[in-house]
Amino acid sequence: MGITEISQGSRRRLKVAAFVIMTATIVFISLFLYFQLKVSETPCDDEPCRNGGTCIEVGESFNCDCPIGFNGSKCEDSPCSTEPCLNNGSCTVHATSYVCSCQDGYNGTECE
């Protein structure tokens, strides 16, 4: 057997070693990329503020600066949240209050 000749068993061991090294490299690169991306996430990345609210990072948390007429930790509440318009009237936020558009036959501030 010469220097360039490789036995069947050695060839198999080389293939296994190459596979293990490739697999370990792929796992390492995947974990590295995962943690790099995870670290770069901020609390505002998911756009938690609703109804046009602006997200403001506060350390590892956030606050929402809500537009006029909306409040709540994520600007989820509005004057229309309680569904004040009766009889299938539609509610529209108007500044810090609401206005009801009533169906035919109903009137008043809440379509009573």
Residue 4 lies in a domain: no
What SS3 class is residue 91? strand
Whole-angstrom distance, CA of residue 61 vs CA of residue 40: 14
pLDDT of residue 27: 95
Expressed as residue numbers, the domain containing 109 is: 79-112
Residue 5 lies in a domain: no
Per residue of the chain (112 residues), what is the pLDDT tens digit? 455 677 877 888 889 999 999 999 999 999 888 877 666 678 999 999 999 999 999 998 999 999 998 999 999 999 999 999 999 999 998 888 999 999 999 999 999 9
- Report the chain's terminal Cα–Cα distance, integer Å: 101
Residue 33 lies in a domain: yes
Phi, psi of 54 (to 5 degrees): -100, 130
- Token couple for 90: 């539609």
pTM, rounded to two decimals: 0.54
pLDDT of residue 2: 52
pLDDT of residue 35: 77
Domain count, the chain: 3
Q: Give the β-pairing of 54-58 and 61-65.
A: antiparallel
